[in-house]
């Protein structure tokens, strides 16, 4: 249960920061409490989607525009659990000034962008952070070659026999 807030300079902000509304560009909810959700809704001027809403399967529910905010939900690869990765719902609310993210599991992509904010001056807006998060999420998606089984290996004798057959079914002369 955590609410992390970041300012334009990449510094973490506290909920009692005197000019929170003017300085915050990213509010990251991780399995948030009701009190944290209320704070985000007040500061960002949005309604934070529920876990059920973020888990919607329907494509029409995944991307919604509401006034000047864009709501996006998507399953994201979480940390590896045993033999494979798990999917967890994540939500993004992109506004003209603030990005709000909603998640229920720790996600390495979010941690890496938060760390980058400390030194990367280009991450001074909610939209720039949103793009950086998407790039980081996509970079972590396994390629088909990394999740597919390796090709079946045949013995030299079997592969020679298979190669000696021609498409028409006739034996090739060697």
Domain boundaries, the chain: 2-149
Tell me if residue 159 falls in helix, strand or coil.
helix
Q: What are phi and psi of 120, to 5 degrees?
A: -100, 105
Architecture of the 2-149 domain: 2-Layer Sandwich (3.30)
Strands 2-7 and 12-13: antiparallel
Residues 87/75, Cβ–Cβ less than 8 Å: yes
Q: What is the Cα–Cα distance from 166 to 149, expressed in whole angstroms?
A: 27
* Strands of the sheet with 12-13, listed across from one edge: 12-13, 2-7, 24-30, 99-103, 87-94, 69-77, 63-66
pLDDT number for residue 147: 55
Instruction: Count Cα atoms within 13 angstroms, Cβ side, for 142.
Output: 13
**pLDDT tens digits for 77-102?**
877 655 667 788 999 999 999 999 99
**Band of pLDDT at residue 154, cut at 50, 70 and 90:** low
89 Cβ contact partners less than 8 Å away, ≥ 6 residues apart: 51, 54, 55, 73, 74, 75, 76, 103, 104
86: its two tokens: 């798990």
Report the pLDDT averaged over residues 15-44. 90
7 Cβ neighbours under 8 A, 6+ residues apart: 13, 23, 24, 25
Output the pTM of the full model. 0.78
């Amino acid at each position: 249960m955590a609410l992390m807030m970041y300012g334009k300079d990449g510094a973490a902000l506290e909920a009692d920061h005197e000019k929170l509304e003017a300085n915050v560009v990213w509010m990251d909810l991780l399995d948030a409490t009701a009190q944290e959700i209320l704070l985000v809704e007040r500061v960002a001027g949005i309604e934070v989607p529920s876990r059920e809403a973020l888990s919607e399967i329907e494509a029409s529910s995944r991307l919604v525009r509401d006034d000047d905010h864009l709501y996006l939900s998507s399953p994201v690869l979480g940390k590896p659990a045993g033999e494979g990765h798990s999917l967890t719902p994540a939500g993004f609310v992109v506004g003209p000034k603030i990005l709000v993210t909603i998640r229920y599991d720790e996600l390495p992509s979010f941690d890496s962008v938060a760390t980058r904010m400390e030194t990367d001056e280009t991450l001074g807006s909610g939209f720039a952070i949103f793009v950086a998060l998407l790039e980081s999420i996509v970079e972590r998606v396994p390629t088909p070659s990394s999740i597919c089984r390796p090709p079946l290996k045949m013995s030299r004798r079997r592969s020679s026999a298979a190669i000696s057959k021609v498409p028409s079914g006739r034996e090739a002369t060697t």
